[in-house]
Amino acid sequence: MTEVRVEGLTKAYGPAKALDEVTLTFPDGGFFGLLGPSGSGKTTLLRAIAGFVTPDTGRIWLGDQAVERVPVEDREIGMVFQSYALFPNMTVAENVAFGLEVRRIPGPDRTRRVVEALDLVQLGGYGGRKPSELSGGQRQRVAMARAIVTRPRVLLLDEPLSALDRALRVDMQIELKRIQREVGITTIFVTHDQEEALTLSDRIGILRDGRLVREGTPRAVYDDPQDAFTARFLGEANVLTGLPEAGGLRLADGTLLPGVTTPAIALRPEALAFAVPPPDTPHRLQARLAQRIFSGATGTLVLDWQGQRLKLTASERDLLDLPAEGSPLWLHWPAAAALALRDAG
Amino acid sequence: MIVVARAYLGLILVFLYAPIIVMGVMSLNASEFYALPFDFSTEWYERLFANEEVLAASWRSVWIALVVATVATTLGTMASLALWRHDFPGKRILQALLFPPIAVPWLIIGTAMLVFFFGIGLGRGTPAVVLGHVALALPYVIITVTARMQSFDRALDEAARSLGARSWTVARKVILPYASPGIIAGWLFAFAVSFDQFVVSYFLAEPGDSTLPVLIYTAIRKGFTPEINAIATIIIAVSMTLMIVAARFARFGGTR
Amino acid sequence: MTRAERIRALGLLAPAYLWLTVAVFLPLSAMAFFSLLTEVPFGEREWSFTIANYTEVFGNPVYATLLWKSLKLGFWVTFWCLVLGFPCAWILARMLKGRSREVLFLLVILPFWSNALVRIFSWAIVLRGNGVLDRAVNAVLPWDVNINLMFSEPAIIIGLVHSYLPYVILTTYLSLQAIDETLIEAARSLGARWPRILWRLVLPLALPGLIAGAVLVFVPVVGSFMEPRLLGGRFGTTYGTLIEDQFVAVFNWPLGAALSFILLAVVLVILAAASPALRKAAT
């Protein structure tokens, strides 16, 4: 199969750099999520791999072929667009067959592969319909079938689920993952939805202002974000900054957090616990309860500490014996939950 | 690729403009037979402005176009605002009825008008020409104004009414100002339809009392002279200028 | 809609539609009536009903020949307009952007809104023997050629293509612009090259616009008389000039009305046949 690799990829639009020296390997058969805020260059990177964007410098490898100079139509890719881009003048089967028609696959073989692809996305029997007669989720599946039926070297998904409503999106995430596992094609997908990225990807890459900020497995990046941007972008994070001293990190209210050697730490809201009497640990802060938010199974406490808002989330049943809003409250956490950050963001 | 594209576009533009430019240049050539070398002269323009018949026809064409544009714009704006604002049975039919005057060849419409106007005793002449031109210009005005109103936020209308404004006040203070670029463009289109109209005028104008295009047609058939070049150049300059102005107002959906 | 609103809508609509009725719809109906008379019913003339005008038209092959000639003229002008106009519309819609597209688009469309008669006249200057085209070509070529296209069928076609090309470019441009760019990207990602993308995707999607443009050229060309007259000379006798003659030269109005009415019927059949495409293109 195919490993995809980009090396030193740079693309500038006037003075703005959409991609800035991006080097990244997308493992063979893996599901790689590209994540970043809008304007971070993630879509440009995907379109550069597809061939719609020509990079100024850098190399793109599909397997052992360098493809920077190869036009889109010769790259043997499969792509699913945000709007699905199904051909409205063709039926579902004709849409799926289009790539096979281009490759001059003979009739019987073509039909068989179209049927297989539609079965794979659980749309067997829908071949005769027009795209306009399908629901959003069904269109998404057709787009997927059309992209994989040619057995491309790499499957590129551009925000494939963003046009669906929330409940359907969760179903389609599971579906997408299943299809990708079955066909085993190297898949790269772009999203701005971090939860989606965490759910689907074997590995993720986070981009910011055209640069690759982090890359790794979702768990590794989540558990060790290393910088404040990644910590805040992937999940939620309370970032505490202070002055590193010999004994630890000295915070603005004088608290010394022992064992910390970096100028900042991130605390996930779910890693925090609260107590009314001072807890017996040095990893603690005294804050004030500002607001309590109910949101179903979990609840959130918003706390005020030195003018900074901190968040704590916990299961609803752990949030029963709360003092009144405005009361002082201790926050504490296990030492390992303090994620070291090299900057304060 | 883009070079080939630009070259092709260039050739199309040469095809579209070369004859017009040649005509304009030749109107300034002293030779009656378009002989070269080119010898600059304004003789044909001078002769033109001394030609009573041409002047009278020009003047008639202009004022007919002014009257036609104004009448057609008034009636057309009223109709398009009604079509835009109200939903009623038969609305689609009314909209479909706008297409025959555009789609049916003017030859058929012109001859039909001639026959009918004689039948009702109106006959040929300027009133018949105005009657016919307004009918031809109306669909253009309605389509132009309706296109402009398509981008109007109906909430504005409702907001104004919720503030207690009466229908007429809303129309005057909110809708008409918004529609005005479309109305101006419609007026200019209507003026052009009338000013450039040859076929219908040809059948409806009284001989000896004709509009400029009819006069030119008759003159060409008698054998053409550089004088026709001169007046034709003026006409094309006028109508192109009008259309550039109209295009600026007709930027549908724009904020101008 | 309340009663008051209904009255107001009626008041706003009535003048325009009354005008159209008096000046377009009643005349078209009156023509049908006239075509069935022996003589125009003005003054003291004797007249009666007859179908002689139609038997004359259908009995005499000259009329059918001329109608066929006009239809052929319409076909060729439409053909050349589409062939020349499609690439032009493609370039404007898909290859150019921003200010240069705006300016070029206006330049292409502008002639359509200028005087048709004058533009035909300008071709007469260019095309005639010893005219500008003749001399320009002879100035470039080392040997002598005599280009006299004036008063020929090609001259008529050139003039009419010049008249209607901007229109085809406009309608084609609008339908090409409505095609979502990502559809083309999707086709390319599946490995399709330009000829296939054009044939399988762009043309089917642009077809309603192309048909609309074609019909709106074909119909007036079939009814043209001024252009054949001025550029065609003795080759310029068409169905249109035949009708013109009945009204301004021969003064056989009932026959002219019958000829006009037959042309109207042909036009209406064409418009009706194309109406699904026209409706699709309008939305």
Give the mean model confidence (pLDDT) for residues C25-48: 82
Give the mean model confidence (pLDDT) for residues B33-55: 80
Q: Single out the residue of B171, B215, B179 nearest to residue B55, CA to CA.
A: B215
pLDDT digits (tens, 9 = 90+) for C244-258: 999 988 888 899 999
- H or E segment and range at residue B170: helix B167-170
Question: Residue A89 and residue C204: Cβ atoms within 8 Å?
Answer: yes
Question: Can you read off the two tokens belonging to residue B68?
Answer: 């036609």
Number of A/C CB contacts below 8 angstroms equals 64
**pLDDT over 70 percentage in chain A:** 99
> Which of C191, C201, C204 comes nearest A99 by C-beta?
C191
> Which of C180, C190, C204 comes nearest A98 by C-beta?
C190
Tell me: pLDDT of C198 over 90.
Answer: yes
Longest dimension (CA), chain C: 80
The pLDDT, as a whole number, for residue C130 is: 65
pLDDT, averaged across chain B: 85
Question: Can you read off the two tokens belonging to residue B2?
Answer: 């883009």
| Distance between CA atoms of residues B129 and B120, nearest Å | 15
Other beta carbons within 10 angstroms of residue B93's beta carbon come to: 8
Tell me: pLDDT of B151 over 90.
Answer: no
Question: Residue A79 and residue C204: Cβ atoms within 8 Å?
Answer: no
Q: Tell me how far CA of residue C178 lies from CA of A103, C92, C205, C261, in angstroms.
A: 28, 13, 9, 37
Question: Residue C189 and residue A78: Cβ atoms within 8 Å?
Answer: yes
User: Residue A6: which pLDDT band, with cuts at 50, 70 and 90?
Assistant: very high
β-partners of residue A330 are: A275, A286
The pLDDT, as a whole number, for residue B253 is: 36
A246 within 8 A of A260, measured Cβ to Cβ = no
Instruction: Please classify residue A253 by burial: count the beta carbons closer than 10 Å to its beta carbon, then call 0-12 exposed, 13-18 middle and 19+ buried.
Output: exposed
pLDDT digits (tens, 9 = 90+) for A17-46: 899 999 999 999 999 999 998 889 999 999
> Coil, strand, or helix at residue A327?
coil
pLDDT digits (tens, 9 = 90+) for C145-156: 776 777 888 899
| Distance between CA atoms of residues C53 and C35, nearest Å | 7
More confident residue, C86 or C274: C86
The pLDDT, as a whole number, for residue C281 is: 67
Other beta carbons within 10 angstroms of residue C59's beta carbon come to: 10
Collect all residues of chain A within an 8 Å Cβ-Cβ radius of residue C180: 83, 85
Q: What angle do CA C206, C209, C210 make, to 5 degrees?
A: 80
Residues of chain B with CATH 1.10.3720.10: 52-250
| Distance between CA atoms of residues A159 and A118, nearest Å | 21
Q: Single out the residue of A244, A260, A253 nearest to residue A287, CA to CA.
A: A253
**CATH T-level fold of C57-282:** MetI-like fold (1.10.3720)
The pLDDT, as a whole number, for residue B36 is: 63
Question: Residue A89 and residue C186: Cβ atoms within 8 Å?
Answer: no
Of the given ranges (A92-96, A141-145, C22-26, C46-50), which has the lowest mean pLDDT? C46-50
Collect all residues of chain C within an 8 Å Cβ-Cβ radius of residue A94: none
Q: Which residue type does C247 have?
A: F
The pLDDT, as a whole number, for residue B154 is: 77
End-to-end CA distance of chain B: 35
| Distance between CA atoms of residues C59 and B249, nearest Å | 53
Single pTM value for the model: 0.83
Question: Can you read off the two tokens belonging to residue C108?
Answer: 């292409």
Give the mean model confidence (pLDDT) for residues B124-132: 94
C281 within 8 A of C171, measured Cβ to Cβ = yes
Place of tokens 């006239």: C34
| Distance between CA atoms of residues B138 and B68, nearest Å | 9
Tell me: pLDDT of B256 over 70.
Answer: no
Tell me: pLDDT of B37 over 70.
Answer: no
The pLDDT, as a whole number, for residue C283 is: 58
The pLDDT, as a whole number, for residue C129 is: 63
The pLDDT, as a whole number, for residue C10 is: 87
Q: Which residue type does C156 have?
A: I
pLDDT digits (tens, 9 = 90+) for A289-309: 998 888 888 889 999 998 899
Least Cα separation, residue C23 to chain A (angstroms): 42
pLDDT digits (tens, 9 = 90+) for C110-131: 888 788 899 998 888 888 766 6
A43 reaches C (C-beta below 8 A)? no
Other beta carbons within 10 angstroms of residue A271's beta carbon come to: 17
Q: Where are the alpha helices (DSSP H) in chain A?
A: 42-50, 92-102, 107-120, 136-148, 166-183, 194-200, 218-223, 228-233
A270-274 LR contacts (CB < 8 Å, sep 24+): A270/A313, A270/A314, A271/A333, A271/A334, A271/A337, A272/A238, A272/A310, A272/A312, A272/A331, A272/A332, A272/A333, A272/A337, A273/A312, A273/A314, A273/A331, A273/A332, A273/A333, A274/A301, A274/A312, A274/A329, A274/A330, A274/A331, A274/A332
Least Cα separation, residue B16 to chain C (angstroms): 6
pLDDT digits (tens, 9 = 90+) for B163-190: 777 777 877 888 888 888 889 888 988 9
Question: Can you read off the two tokens belonging to residue A175?
Answer: 């579906």
Q: What is the DSSP string of A245-306?
A: ETTEEEETTS-EEET--SSEEEE-GGG-EEESSPPSSSSEEEEEEEEEEEETTEEEEEEEET
For chain B, which chains pass the contact test of at least 3 CB pairs under 8 Å? C
Peptide bond into B37 cis (omega under 30): yes
Tell me: pLDDT of C38 over 70.
Answer: yes
Question: Residue C191 and residue A76: Cβ atoms within 8 Å?
Answer: yes
DSSP state of A124: T
The pLDDT, as a whole number, for residue C69 is: 94
State the complex-level ipTM.
0.88
Tell me: pLDDT of B254 over 60.
Answer: no
Tell me: pLDDT of A282 over 50.
Answer: yes
The pLDDT, as a whole number, for residue C138 is: 73
B117 reaches C (C-beta below 8 A)? yes
The pLDDT, as a whole number, for residue A87 is: 95
Highest mean pLDDT among A28-32, A252-256, B47-51, B252-256: A28-32
User: Residue A142: which pLDDT band, with cuts at 50, 70 and 90?
Assistant: very high
CATH of domain B52-250: 1.10.3720.10
A13 reaches C (C-beta below 8 A)? no
Give the mean model confidence (pLDDT) for residues C178-191: 93
pLDDT digits (tens, 9 = 90+) for A238-266: 999 988 888 889 988 888 888 888 999 99
| Distance between CA atoms of residues A249 and B241, nearest Å | 75
